[in-house]
A and B are shown apart, each in its own frame.
Chain A
Amino acid sequence: MKTIEKLNGIFQTVFENDEINIRPEMTANDIDGWDSLSHVNLILAVEEGFGIRFTAKELLTFKNIGDLLHGIENKPGRIGA
């Protein structure tokens, strides 16, 4: 499974919507319910799902889903994808 597919699954679970179909250029504005308060749940689910840990600085630099994907793929020792 590709990283983006696995990530899409996490998005669908966190935002409780099976119709979400993420693309790299998408931002919080494009997904219903994704705001600063729910963002933390997404990050926790991503870290758990891929078995990785982001630094605070990394988390603050993500501008869109593409950045998040990049951040995941650059982590050594990630699981799944």
Chain B
Amino acid sequence: MLFCSWPFLFFMLIVLPVFFMLRQTKFWLLWLGAASCFFYGWWNPYYLVLIFYIAVVVFLLIALMDHCPAESQKINIRARLLRLQFDDRLVKIAFIFFALASLVFFGMALAGPKTMGPFMGGLGLIMLLMALGALYSSREIWLVVGLFNAVVPLLFFKYARFISENINAVLSWLHIPARLPDASALMPFGLDYLLPIGISFFTFQSMGYLIDFYLGKAERERNFLRFANFVCFFPILMAGPIERAGHLLPQFRQFPAIRLQNFSDGLSLFIVGLFKKVTLAGYLALYVDRVYEAPGDFSASALVLASVAYAWQIFFDFGGYTDMARGVAKLMGFNLVLNFNHPYLATGLGDFWRRWHISFSRWILDYIFMPLQMRWREWRSVGTGLALVVTFLVSGIWHGAAWTFVAWGALHGLGLAGTYGLERSAFYRKRVPKIVKQVLVFAFVTFTWIFFRAQSLPDALLIVKRILTAAWQDPQIPALMLALVALVWIYEFLCESRWRNLLETGLVRVGLAVLMVLGLFFSSSGGTAFIYFQF
């Protein structure tokens, strides 16, 4: 269900009143969970199986991790295997259960119908890993098993087709007759090979909790209902923000305080988000789509303007979505983390990533960059640069299984590796005028968006080439759109200038509100998909 659709309005009209009616009982959390399931199952109920699986596995693994000693110890594997001598009862039960389950699944893979083979084999492998985790009573193994469990569905649903297509292309290039089957051939029960919406977000959020618990940064959650709500809380299910256990889980401990402020804040966040998404992003898309559909037909000026327009489109699309998500949560009294903080006012690439998709960049920083940087710390700045490039390559691939995203991630990684030293130098901080830095960062980020938006890598390269070599003719951009882009620039600049109090005055606020209502009224509610849902 899209936030900007009628079904969602009716959904909220039922969910909210019942939620508040249940505040004195202990059923409010159950209601919230049921609402999230309904919200997610609205598209395709079979998606629910996957998210439920992730929730159960992570919950169980954290319990098992909690039953294993923090420090590694000597274990008598022989006694454990032959006489089932375990110090901890839960670990013993887990070992017996997973060992038997793995035998059953492997048996089914061999004896069952051939189409089910790979699926049952995969389950058998996971069960075998779990049994090994119990046998060795090691937190490390549970962590690996947990990450494996979370990553495999993500890899399969998002990248299997991309990987097999690329391998097949290489095989054909080498004139080798063998071909890998398409990923859809591996789907069990004749189900369609569809990308479960939001999988990248709830997978990352669950993995974050697993790692935080392993590192002793998060408490174990013993209530499954509370934990399940953390994994599939409907405002953040589709496209984040990616929450941390330490921030969101405690908010499910008791019914949130009811304040009038929450309603007004929540509603205004939602309406601002709706305006950004439906009116602004929707309007900019008209031009961007036309140019990016056939970049060979447009002049250099059109390609530059369309790329600038896209930079704003994706900001309004995703930023608007986040505002709506935060607004919906706020209506119920829950606080979600800030995800965007005037990213196009950034004065450096590092600064940009502290302002753009903050919950995601913090995630890759904490769980990918930091471990790599620490591991490679002897190599000093080379290690840090390498860690940045690898981190942003992963970030690119996370956004989608296409070479365009890989190129986008690589550009950001290389850009950061090349400039992080400069960004913190006294010369850059004190001597270079702020506006120059902001324009340079915006230009670089917009350049990378070309790769993000283009339909293919050759298309992206064609656009770059045409910008550099083609003639500058009439860009055929509507004058109103040009004015809009200029206006949002001015607005953003005012937000961090000494005139920002101007924006807070009653007159300006009423003017903006009227503008938004008019804008929403005139823009079609065609329900165009959010750019970030595909990730």
B185 at interface, CB cutoff 8 A: no
B373 at interface, CB cutoff 8 A: yes
Q: A37-B350, A37-B424 are in contact. Are A61 and B216 (CB under 8 A)?
A: yes
Determine the residue in chain B with the shortest Cβ distance to A43. B377
Cα distance, A27 to B375, chains bound together (Å)? 22
B47 at interface, CB cutoff 8 A: no
Which residues of chain A have C-beta atoms less than 8 A from B384's C-beta? 37, 40
A40 pairs with B373, CB closer than 8 A:
yes
Q: Mark B352-387, 1 if CB is under 8 A from A, else 0.
A: 000000000000010001110111010010011000
A36 at interface, CB cutoff 8 A: yes
Q: Which 6 A-B pairs have the closest CB atoms?
A: A59-B374, A61-B215, A56-B374, A40-B377, A60-B215, A40-B373
Q: A37-B350, A37-B424 are in contact. Are A60 and B369 (CB under 8 A)?
A: no
Interface of A is mostly: helix
Which residues of chain A have C-beta atoms less than 8 A from B263's C-beta? none
Cα distance, A36 to B368, chains bound together (Å)? 12
B374 → chain A, closest Cβ, in Å?
5
Partner of B420, one of A33, A37, A44, A63: A37
Number of interface residues of A (CB under 8 A): 14
A56 pairs with B375, CB closer than 8 A:
yes
B217 at interface, CB cutoff 8 A: yes
A57 at interface, CB cutoff 8 A: yes
Determine the residue in chain A with the shortest Cβ distance to B365. A36
Cα distance, A27 to B350, chains bound together (Å)? 20
A70 → chain B, closest Cβ, in Å?
12
Q: Which of B217, B365, B370 has the most CB of A within 10 A?
A: B370
Determine the residue in chain A with the shortest Cβ distance to B423. A37
Which residues of chain A have C-beta atoms less than 8 A from B373's C-beta? 36, 40
Determine the residue in chain A with the shortest Cβ distance to B140. A57
Partner of B374, one of A33, A37, A60, A63: A60
- Restricting to A36-77, which residues have a CB under 8 Å from any CB of B? 36-40, 43-44, 56-57, 59-61, 63
Binding site for A on B (CB under 8 A): 215-217, 350, 365, 369-371, 373-375, 377, 380, 383-384, 420, 424
Partner of A60, one of B350, B371, B420, B424: B371
A60 pairs with B377, CB closer than 8 A:
no
Which residues of chain A have C-beta atoms less than 8 A from B217's C-beta? 61, 63
Determine the residue in chain A with the shortest Cβ distance to B376. A40
B215 pairs with A57, CB closer than 8 A:
yes
Question: What would 8 more interface pairs be, CB under 8 Å, given A36-B370, A37-B420?
Answer: A37-B350, A37-B384, A39-B370, A40-B374, A40-B384, A44-B377, A60-B371, A61-B216
Cα distance, A37 to B369, chains bound together (Å)? 10
Cα distance, A39 to B375, chains bound together (Å)? 13
B163 → chain A, closest Cβ, in Å?
29
Cα distance, A36 to B391, chains bound together (Å)? 13
Which residues of chain A have C-beta atoms less than 8 A from B380's C-beta? 44
Cα distance, A66 to B424, chains bound together (Å)? 27
Which residues of chain B have C-beta atoms less than 8 A from A37's C-beta? 350, 384, 420, 424
Cα distance, A33 to B86, chains bound together (Å)? 49
B530 → chain A, closest Cβ, in Å?
29
A56 → chain B, closest Cβ, in Å?
5
Which residues of chain B have C-beta atoms less than 8 A from A44's C-beta? 377, 380
B416 → chain A, closest Cβ, in Å?
9
B215 pairs with A36, CB closer than 8 A:
no
Q: List 20 A-B contacts (CB under 8 A).
A: A33-B424, A36-B370, A36-B373, A37-B384, A37-B424, A38-B424, A39-B370, A40-B373, A40-B377, A40-B383, A40-B384, A43-B374, A56-B371, A56-B374, A57-B215, A60-B215, A60-B371, A60-B374, A61-B215, A63-B217
Which residues of chain A have C-beta atoms less than 8 A from B375's C-beta? 56
Determine the residue in chain B with the shortest Cβ distance to A38. B424
Cα distance, A57 to B374, chains bound together (Å)? 9
Cα distance, A39 to B383, chains bound together (Å)? 13
Cα distance, A33 to B365, chains bound together (Å)? 17
Cα distance, A71 to B517, chains bound together (Å)? 57
A9 → chain B, closest Cβ, in Å?
20
B497 → chain A, closest Cβ, in Å?
23
A36 pairs with B374, CB closer than 8 A:
no
Cα distance, A6 to B210, chains bound together (Å)? 35
B369 → chain A, closest Cβ, in Å?
7
Cα distance, A57 to B212, chains bound together (Å)? 11
Determine the residue in chain B with the shortest Cβ distance to A41. B380
Cα distance, A38 to B216, chains bound together (Å)? 23
A52 → chain B, closest Cβ, in Å?
13
Partner of B369, one of A36, A38, A43: A36
B425 → chain A, closest Cβ, in Å?
12
B189 → chain A, closest Cβ, in Å?
40
